[in-house]
Chains A and B, each alone.
Chain A
Amino acid sequence: MDKKLITQCGDELYDALINRTTVKPLTDRFEDITIDDAYYISLRMLDRRVEAGAKIIGKKIGLTSKAVQDMLSVYQPDFGYLTDDMVYASGAEMPISTKMIQPRAEGEIAFILKRDLIGPGITNADVIRATECVLPCFEIVDSRVEDWNIKVQDTVADNASCGLFVLGDSAVDPRKVDLVTCGMVVEKNGAVLSTGAGAAALGSPVNCVTWLANTLGEFGISLKAGEVILSGSLVPLESVVPGDHMRVDIGGIGSASVRFV
């Protein structure tokens, strides 16, 4: 794709985000769109957000579960950028009716970094050393693509389908919890909806952060001290509507809850 088309697609997705509208899948309209093209489109979308005053506070990793990878026939994760206007505290009301289009909730583990991670060559040990703490997290993903009808290029271009997220209020040292076997219980409106464990995300949430550090390192981008990194869902995605209440508990880490309005 040429630069002009990339800018045009990025602007189109930015407008959709701001106006809460959807676009036709890029992959239907531009057959030769590559994953690299899609990342440049997402960067254009991000530039527009930053121009409008948003501040980058971290990154998210997506496409980490086997179920989602099988669905999209893509066997690597992707990533998007988190901005300050996306984050909510546990227990807060999240105004999905005015801020989102077709929201879906997923339970994750968030990492807060205390040191920069500059790939390539980053190992899981580096990630644990660089992590201040891990927290329970709900990521409410959203798609600016009509009916979530996405191929991998569509979601990459759309900032990895990032929406809003909720951080829990207990933080744990990553050296004090088994991130592979820690269990996750997601409840919706008081009933158990799904369960999972750390290994659901590429075998370990730490693997996901390591992948991100090394992948971004190749483009000269580092993960920075103070950033929040969402490491990928441990349970299936769940559509949510205003009025729903959700809670996630993670063994050895804590809980987070959110009410959708």
Chain B
Amino acid sequence: MTEQQIAEIVELLENAEQENRGIVKITDQHPDLSIHDAQDIQWAIRARKEARGTRIVGMKMAGMNPNVDQAHYGFLADYCSVPQGGEINTKELLHPKVEAEIAFVTSEELAGPGCHIGKVLAATDFIVPTIGISDSRYQDCEIDLASAIADNASASRFVIGGRPLLVDELDLRTIGVVVEKNGSVVEVGAGAAVLGNPAASVAMLVNMLAERDQVLPAGSIVMTGSITSAVAVEPGDAIIAHFQHLGDVSLKVV
């Protein structure tokens, strides 16, 4: 793709996000969009935001269920953060879904290639329980990998709740999660649903960043991917995710 074409798609996608307007997926018009092109688009959207003063606070991993998806990453912008117990406004979102995730907060820079779980744990300040809100900017719900990457892995909002814990005495694989919607249990799972161990998701991210000569800076939040299936929400819904050892995260949908 030409630089001109990439620039047009960047503008289209970022405006769609800012104006909360659904668009047809990129690959409908550009069936030859490569994964590399799609990453170029995501990084250009990120640069556009940073140029306007937006702070990138971390990264998210998506597509962690190998049976249905392929792993990819997106970035987290400062305005995506919602306070614990806070509201997400459906007027600002197209078709939001919520996912229970364990997030890592790093204390040191992580660089690949060759990053592994050991390096990740050594560079982890603490982990926290989170609810990630994903929201594709595409009208079509059937999204291909390249379109998803260009659209920043459907990153939309995130809530950090519960309590931070050190990783040294935790078995990340068996941390259980129970998601309730309006008082009923709708999803359950455990940490191993993400690549067998959520720390593996951080290592994968770092190695993917290395392919673009990028590192994960100290102080980054990394949402490691959903432990449960995504839950669609609508105005009036209340969501709470209970994490073993890590406490609860909640939000209201208005």
Contacts and interface: CB of A to CB of B under 8 A. Distances in A.
Majority DSSP secondary structure for residues of A touching B: mixed
Nearest to B174: A251
B33 interface: no
B196 A183 contact: no
Interface stretch (A2-10, A32-40, A117-125, A195-203): A195-203
A198 B243 CA distance: 11
B227 interface: yes
A106 to B, nearest CB: 14
Interface string A178-201: 101111110000001001111110
Interface string B227-254: 1000000000000001111000000000
B185 A196 contact: no
A142 interface: no
Contacts of A249: 171, 173-174, 192
Contact of B188 (A192, A196, A250, A252): A196
Given A195-B189, A200-B188, A183 B174 contact: yes
Most chain A C-beta atoms within 10 Å of own C-beta, residue among B171, B176, B193: B176
Contacts of B117: none
Contacts of B245: 178, 181, 251
Most chain B C-beta atoms within 10 Å of own C-beta, residue among A178, A183, A252: A183
A98 B113 CA distance: 50
B189 A196 contact: yes
A94 interface: no
A195 B188 CA distance: 8
Contacts, number: 78
Nearest to A251: B174
A41 interface: no
A195 B190 contact: yes
Contact of B193 (A195, A200, A250): A195
Given A181-B244, A182-B244, A184-B190, A199 B173 contact: no
A197 B196 contact: no
Contact of B176 (A66, A183, A203): A183
Most chain B C-beta atoms within 10 Å of own C-beta, residue among A182, A184, A185: A185
Contacts of B242: 180-181, 199
A152 interface: no
B191 interface: yes
Interface of A: 66, 178, 180-185, 192, 195-200, 203, 234, 249-252
29 contacts: A66-B185, A181-B176, A181-B242, A181-B245, A182-B176, A182-B244, A183-B175, A183-B177, A183-B189, A183-B191, A184-B174, A184-B190, A185-B174, A185-B190, A185-B192, A192-B196, A195-B190, A195-B191, A196-B176, A196-B189, A197-B177, A198-B176, A199-B185, A199-B188, A234-B188, A249-B192, A251-B171, A251-B175, A251-B190
